[in-house]
Amino acid sequence: MGFKAMNEELIGGDTETLKKRIKKLSAQAIEHKMRLHDLAEDLPVGWETIREVAAHTHEAYRALAAARAELAQAGGGSG
């Protein structure tokens, strides 16, 4: 399931569902961050993939921030 689909599922969800979704999104964001970090360490090898890896990382953290905002709006804390 993509980040956009996960975010769309958040609408109307209960607090526990939001917290579970945030946990999944957080794990995915960390995974993408590590890929970006590993790519940076190996430069110049793989320089061609910088934009793609960075875009995936950006989207992961954007989705996580949106889910956390949804949880805060629902009164469930900051995630």
State the maximum Cα–Cα separation within the chain, in Å, rounded to a whole number: 46
**What's residue 14's pLDDT?**
86
The CATH number of residue 59's host domain is: 1.10.287.660
Q: How far apart are CA 23 and CA 52, in angstroms?
A: 24
Residue 37 inside a domain? The answer is yes
Which domain range does residue 34 map to? 18-73
Average pLDDT over residues 55-78: 92
Give residue-wise pLDDT tens across range 30-57: 999 999 999 999 999 999 999 999 999 9
Residue 56 CB contacts under 8 Å (≥ 6 apart), including other chains: 32, 35
Please state the domain count of the chain.
Answer: 1
Residue 78 inside a domain? The answer is no
Residue 9 inside a domain? The answer is no
Residue 7 inside a domain? The answer is no
